[in-house]
Amino acid sequence: MTTTDLPASLIPTLPGQHYTDRNVFGLEQSRIFEQMWFCAVRAADLPTPGKFEKVQIGRESVLVVRGRDGGLRAFLNICRHRGAQICTEDSGEVKRAFQCPYHAWTYDLSGKLIAAPNLTSMPDVDRVQYGLVPVHLREWLGYAWVCLADEPPSFEEDVMGAVVERLGDLESIDRYDLDTLEVGRRITYDVKANWKLIVENFMECYHCATIHPELTEVLPEFADGYAAQYYVGHGAEFGDDVKGFTVDGSEGFDKLPGVADDQDRRYYALTVKPSVFINLVPDHVIFHRMFPLAEDRTVVVCDWLYTKEVVESGKDVSRSVELFHRVNEQDFEACERTQPAMSSRAYARGGVLVPSEHHISAFHEWVSARISG
């Protein structure tokens, strides 16, 4: 059957090769992850000068560090001498500088080359020019977003614009004050599936009644298969007997101070391509960062964000964490179950999308355009 033979109710997906082929993933690395704004770290995780995190973005290892001036900076994690990785640990702290463990070339927190064996005998070496290669960085919603492109795309159009496209305006997300919230719990998931399967799963709720019993108890409309992202500005309403966004529907915490009355008792889901999911509920925010590492492996870091008062007072966040932790595990298990079938001859030309999933085709068209451009 060709795509022209499909019933009007069905739309074709991407072919299976797009989820298994190393060359396709290589194009996604070079033309998507290395060209777009990519959410790297929670800014508050680097509170003092010298604190750093190492993240993998596309094919590049990137260091994000707090400078002595208090600002965040990002650099490629590569020594300019012979190309050794400067930092191999995922996070840490340096006092004043990074030193390459191979030949001891040393860089200050602004990336400038400040020392190397026999450097004084090479006065023609420009210490800024041979400093660490900088990476563009913007802070928003309490996270550091980086872009490897020489000329990054508009942050306002690509990142903020995705929020406007989903919610209708920026004010709607500003009311949650994400930059003032604190991490109450963080869970990292190592998912044996292609990143696109995870995005597609998050974008639809046709599966919700089947695999998310706890979520559909809290958000009954999800049982009908229509995701919260289906309509601009729509938030899924809590069930009548539900008191909070918790695993058993019991009461959560006080509403975040800025959340409007029409946002209360509602759940909003957003996708910021290529690698961020944001979940807004009245008393906390759930923020996913994806790190695609291979055509069949994606690391997802999930932060549960609460007010400073909730975190510092040691209040029990387990019931609100457990709800979406179960959702994550259920979703990722489904993606891992799907990944092996992507190489089957039965999926060589792809599958189909039903009407409540038709909006996913726009994501497929976007990916195809990016990697073919």
CA 83/CA 94 separation, integer angstroms = 20
Q: What integer pLDDT is reported at residue 339 of this predicted model?
A: 98
- Model confidence at 1, pLDDT cuts 50, 70, 90, reads very low
Locate the DSSP E strands across the chain: 11-12, 38-42, 51-57, 60-66, 72-76, 91-93, 97-99, 106-108, 113-115, 134-140, 143-147, 182-191, 236-237, 266-272, 276-281, 284-294, 297-306, 352-353
pLDDT at 2 over 80: no
Domain boundary among 153, 177, 198: 153
Task: Examine the pLDDT at 50 and tell me if it is beyond 90.
Answer: yes
Residues 147 and 284 reside in one and the same domain: no
Answer whether residue 362 is part of any domain. yes
- On whether residue 159 sits in a domain, the answer given is no
Q: Residue 179 domain-assigned?
A: yes
CB 327 within 8 A of CB 215: yes
Report the amino acid identity of residue 339: Q
Question: Mean pLDDT over residues 108-135, rounded?
Answer: 96
Is 163 contained in some domain?
no
Over the Cα atoms of the chain, what is R_g? 22
Rounded average pLDDT over 355-368: 94
Residues 81 and 219 in one domain: no
State the pLDDT at residue 225: 86
pLDDT at position 228 is 60
Percentage of residues of the chain with pLDDT beyond 70: 98
Q: Tell me whether residue 193 is exposed, middle or buried, using C-beta atoms within 10 angstroms of its C-beta: 0 to 12, 13 to 18, 19 or more.
A: buried
Q: 135 and 12, same structural domain?
A: no
- pLDDT on residue 113: 98
If asked whether residues 114 and 176 sit together in one domain, one would say no
Residue 29 within a domain: no
Residues 337 and 192 in one domain: yes
What's the half-sphere exposure (Cβ side, CA atoms, 13 Å) at 348?
Answer: 4
3-state helix, strand, coil split of the chain in percent (to 5) is 35, 25, 40
CATH code, domain with 290: 3.90.380.10
pLDDT at 88 over 80: yes
Q: Are residues 276 and 221 in the same domain?
A: yes
Angle at Cα 258 formed by Cα 254 and Cα 263, nearest 5°?
Answer: 80
Same domain, 41 and 16: no
- Supply the pLDDT for residue 28: 98
Residues 77 and 188 in one domain: no
| Preceding peptide of 274 cis, ω within 30° | yes
Asked if the model's pLDDT at residue 335 lies above 80, the reply is yes
Could you tell me if 243 and 334 lie in one domain?
A: yes
CB burial of residue 123 (10 Å; 0-12, 13-18, 19+): exposed
Residues in the chain, overall count: 373
- Give the C-alpha separation, 281 to 302, whole Å: 15
pLDDT at 315: 97
- Co-location of 230 and 141 in the same domain: no
User: Which residues are within 8 A (CB) of 324 and not within 5 positions of it... i.e. 6 or more apart?
Assistant: 279, 286, 302, 304
Q: Which amino acid is at 19?
A: Y
pLDDT of residue 226: 77
Mean pLDDT confidence for 58-83: 98
In a domain? residue 158: no
Do residues 186 and 288 share a domain? Answer: yes
pLDDT average, residue stretch 360-373: 94
Give me the chain's average pLDDT, please.
96
Residue 306's pLDDT is: 98
Only one residue has tokens 């191999």, namely 88
| Domain residue limits at 72 | 36-153
209 located within any domain: yes
Domain-ending residue, one of 98, 121, 153: 153
Classify strands 284-294 and 276-281 as parallel, antiparallel or unpaired: antiparallel
Are residues 96 and 223 located together in one domain of the fold?
no
Q: Residue 9 CA to chain centroid, in angstroms?
A: 31
Q: What is the pLDDT, as a whole number, of residue 4?
A: 61
> What is the average pLDDT across 210-221?
96
The dihedral of CA 140, 145, 147, 153: what is its sign? negative
Lowest mean pLDDT among 67-71, 123-127, 228-232, 260-264: 228-232
Kindly state whether residue 28 falls inside one of the protein's structural domains.
no
Domain count, the chain: 2
Looking up residue 71, the CATH number of its domain turns out to be: 2.102.10.10
- At 58 the pLDDT is 98
The terminus-to-terminus CA distance of the chain in angstroms comes to 28
